[in-house]
Structure 1
Amino acid sequence: MHHPSDPDFATRVRDSFHRQQAMALIGATMPVVEAGYTEIHLPHKPEVTQQHGFIHGGVVGMIADSAAGYAANTLTPADASVLTVEYKMNLLAPADGELLIAQGTVLKYGRTLTVTRAEVFAVKDGKKTLCAVMQQTIMTMHGKKEKHETSHKE
């Protein structure tokens, strides 16, 4: 059981997710935020598929990275932010379904480095199939909050 140091972690993490334009671009949502655990849901849409009609492996990596990273972020102090240092992902089955669910969990929380895991499931006709697993290392940046506004330069 993980114990967050910030009692408002869920609001802080959801606010951060809403600032992440990459997730908005692909149509992902984060309906579950708990201490040491988050879920990102991605509905199937043609814009994120590869040539066989499956959701692209790079997109699978995006939601796994964010789900596990936000799971780590639930445990950080309010004045800290996180960055991915590294991850290794195995694609186990095609990401074929109406919905992908990335479940991010914290395996070991540390002051500077946190080890996380993500599992990504493809949901098709009500059946969940594990399509990817990822292990990740997250760096906590103490005293460094995220940017609150994003500027676009063309």
Structure 2
Amino acid sequence: MSHFTASNPDFAQQLVSAVTAMPMAKWLGLRFCDVRLGEVKLEIGYREELSFTPGKMQATAIFAAADFAAVAAAGTLLPVGWVNASIDCNLKIVAPGDGEKLLARGRVITPGKMITVCAADVFSVRDGKETLCATALATARNIDTGRH
């Protein structure tokens, strides 16, 4: 149960639509599995063009999963007419991304009006077994588009 309050009742649908419309998200094949206030779960399937050697995801794909998950989690708390963007993300890779897909769980650490601190854990999934491969701490800049 989330301890956050939704200022935008359509936050989940709007977030998923906005993120999955991004060219990079499309190219990565990013798919949301779950969206809740302050939390998201998304996945990126293994593809050869995302690997640095056959069977192992390149660090850039792992970073993208972490960044998208963390900042999307922050996006769930935005009011109508606001968007956000990454301004900082620190990733620590702790194991190879050598599964069939990456599963990233993003969460809000500290929300704010202009800046939200968020985090994500990225798991390599093989045969249904999750292995932590990276963790990230990120900062999202919240931007008023003026479209309320």
The answer to whether TM tops 0.5 is: yes
Alignment of 1:35-54 (within 5 A): 35-51=37-53, 53-54=55-56
Quote the Cα distance in structure 2 between the aligned partners of 1:75 and 1:98: 31
Which residue among 16, 19, 31 is the counterpart of 1:17? 19
- The answer on 1:66 being equivalent to 2:68 is yes
Structure 2 length-normalised TM: 0.93
Structure 1 length-normalised TM: 0.90
Quote the Cα distance in structure 2 between the aligned partners of 1:94 and 1:144: 42
RMSD: 1.2
Quote the Cα distance in structure 1 between the aligned partners of 2:146 and 2:90: 26
- The answer on 1:135 being equivalent to 2:137 is yes
Code of the aligned partner of 2:56: F
Provide the secondary structure at the position in 1 that maps to 2:112: coil
Give the 4+ runs in structure 1 shifted more than 4 A.
none
Quote the Cα distance in structure 2 between the aligned partners of 1:48 and 1:33: 25
Code of the aligned partner of 1:33: V
Aligned residues of 1:38 and 1:103 also touching (Cα < 8 A): yes
Provide the secondary structure at the position in 1 that maps to 2:77: coil
Code of the aligned partner of 1:2: F
Code of the aligned partner of 1:54: K
Q: How many residues align?
A: 145
Gaps of 5+ in 2: none
Aligned residues of 2:100 and 2:124 also touching (Cα < 8 A): yes
Quote the Cα distance in structure 2 between the aligned partners of 1:10 and 1:79: 14
Provide the secondary structure at the position in 1 that maps to 2:52: coil
Gaps of 5+ in 1: 146-154
CA drift of 1:128 comes to 0.8
Question: What are the superposed Cα offsets for residues 50-99 of structure 1, whole Å, 9 maximum, x if unpaired?
Answer: 12531111111111111111110110111101011101010000001011
Code of the aligned partner of 2:76: T
Alignment of 1:1-154 (within 5 A): 1-51=3-53, 53-144=55-146
Deviates more, 1:25-34 or 1:99-108: 25-34
Aligned residues of 1:17 and 1:30 also touching (Cα < 8 A): no
Provide the secondary structure at the position in 1 that maps to 2:64: helix
Aligned residues of 1:81 and 1:144 also touching (Cα < 8 A): no
Quote the Cα distance in structure 2 between the aligned partners of 1:135 and 1:18: 22
